[in-house]
Amino acid sequence: MSRHKRGNLNGYLFIAPVFIYITITAFIPMIMSLYLSFTDYNMLQPPKWCGLYNYKDLLGKDGKMWVAMRNTLIYAIEVLPLNIFCSLGLAILVNKNLPGMTFFRTTYYLPVVTSMVAASMIWMWIYDTDMGLLNNILSLFGVEPIEWLTSPDMALHSLAIMRVWKGIGWNMVIYLAGLQGIPRHLYEAAMIDGASRWQQFANVTWPMLRPVTYYVLTMGLISTFQTFTEIYSMTRGGPLDSTTTIGYQIYKMAFDYMEMGKASALAFVLFVIIFTLSIINVKFFSSRVDSEV
C-alpha cells in the first residue's frame, strides 16, 4: 500500500515540471483562444462576446468551410497511409548492418531539412505544365501534358505527393528508433519456429511497433489536418478552391480578414475532429496491447 502511494506521488512529481510549464505556455493560450472563439475579435478592439455566432456561421450554410473540410480529409487520407507505408519500408531497409547506411539515412532526411521555400520552388518547376520535369519525362512515353498544379482535379493530389516526399524522412527516423528497440531474441525465436520474413514482420515487427505507429499516425493526423505551409507557398488555395484546407482558412480569417474570433472557432472545430480521431485511434491500437498506447 505504501509502495503504491509512493508510486502515485512519484508520478505527479515526474510530470510536475512539464505540467506546470505546459499549463503556462499551452493550456492558458488555448483557453484564451477558446474564449475568443465566442467573441467578435479583430485584434484592434477588445473582444466582444457574441455567443455561438461564430460556430453557427461556420457550421451553417457558409460553403467554404465544408469545401475546406473535404479537401483536408482527402489530403489526410492520401498522405497518411502512403507516408507510413513508405517510411516504415525505408526504415526497415536502412536498419540493416550494411555499408553506406549512414549515407542513405542522411539522404532520406534531406527533404526534412530542405527549406520549404526551396522545396516549393523546385516542385513548382517539377510540376510546371509546359517546362516541367515530370511532363518532360512523361512526354517520352507519349503522355499529353498534365496540369499538375493548375487543374482543380489534380492540384490537391500533386501537393499530397510532395508532402509525402517531405515527410517520409521524419517518420523513417522514428521507425528506425522503434526497430532498434525490438529485442533480437524475438526474431531468433521466430526463426527457430521457421517463420518466413513476412511472418516475422507480421508477428514480431508490426505488433512491437504498435506504440510507435500510434505515435506516427497521431502526429500525422495533427499535422496534416493543420496543413498550411505548402498551400500558402504553392497554390494559395486554388485553383477553384480545390486546395483550400482548414489550416489555410484559419490563417486567412485570422490575419487577412482580422476575424480572430471566427478563426478561433474554426480552430476548435478542427480540434474536436482531431481529438476524436486520435481517441478512436487509441481504441483501435489498444485492441490487442492494452495500456501500451
Partner 1 sequence: MKNAKTFRVILSYAVLCLVAVVMAGPFVWMVFSSVKPNEDLFAHPPVWFPQRVTGEHFRAAFAHTNLPRYFLNSLIVAGVATVTNVLFGSLAGFAFARLEFPGRDVIFFAILGTMMVPIHVTVVPLFILAKRFPLAGGNNILGVGGTGLIDTYGGLLFPYLITAFGVFMTRQFFASLPRELDDAARIDGCSDFGIFAKICLPLSRPVIATLSIFTFTNVWDDFLWPLVIINRDEMRTVQLGLQVFQSQFSVDWGPLMAATLMVTVPVLIVFILGQDYFVEGIATTGMKG
Partner 2 sequence: MKRVFTVIAAVVVMLSLTSIGYAKGTTINLWFAGTEAPFMKTVNEEILPLFRRAYPNIDLVVTFVPWGDLSTKLGTAFAAKLPPDVFMHGQAATAGFAANQSIEPLDKYIAKMPDAKDFGPTIDSGAYMGKRYMLPMNGAGRLLIYRADFFREAGLDPNRPPTTWEELRAAAIAQTIRQGNRIVREGLDIPTQGIDAQQIYSNFLWQNGGDFISQDGKKAIFNSKEGVEALQFIVDLIYKDKCTNTQEERPLGNVQPIASGKVAMQFAVPNDIKLIEVYSPDVYTQIRVAPPLMNKEQVALYSYSGLFMAKDSKNKDAAWEVMQFMTSPAVLGKICESLGMLPPRQSLKSAPFIAKDYRIQAYVEGMAYGRGNPNVPAWVKVRDILATYIEKAAFGVMSPQDALDKAAAECNAALAGK
Instruction: Name which of residues 124 to 153 contact partner 2 (CB under 8 A).
Output: 124-125, 128-131, 145, 147, 150, 152
Q: How far is the CB of 288 from partner 1 (least distance, A)?
A: 13
Which residue lies nearer to partner 2 by CB, 107 or 136?
136
Inter-axis angle of helices 63-94 and 155-180, nearest 10: 40
Residue 39 is classified by DSSP as E
Selected binder of partner 2 within 43, 52, 137, 280 (CB under 8 A): 43
Burial (CB count <10 Å: 0-12, 13-18, 19+), residue 159: buried
CB of 94 to partner 1, least distance (A): 7
**Residue recorded with cell 521466430:** 190
CB atoms inside a 10 Å sphere around CB 53: 15
- The partner in contact with residue 42, picked from partner 1, partner 2, none with C-beta cut-offs of 5 to 8 angstroms by kind, is partner 2
Nearer to partner 1, 118 or 192 (CB): 118
Q: How far apart are CA 108 and CA 173, in angstroms?
A: 9
Residue in 116, 147, 282 with CA at minimum distance from that of residue 210: 282
CB of 225 to partner 1, least distance (A): 8
Residue 230 lies near partner 2 (rule: CB under 8 A): no
Dihedral over alpha carbons 72, 73, 79, 82 (to 10 degrees): -170
Among 255, 280, 284, 292, binds partner 2 (CB under 8 A): 255
Binding mask 259-278 for partner 2 (x = CB under 8 A): -x------------------
Handedness of CA 55, 56, 58, 60 (dihedral sign): positive
Residue 238, contacted partner among partner 1, partner 2, none, CB below 5-8 A by kind: partner 2
Residue whose C-alpha cell is 507510413: 84
Which residues make up the interface to partner 2 (CB under 8 A)?
A: 42-45, 121, 124-125, 128-131, 145, 147, 150, 152, 236, 238-241, 252, 254-258, 260
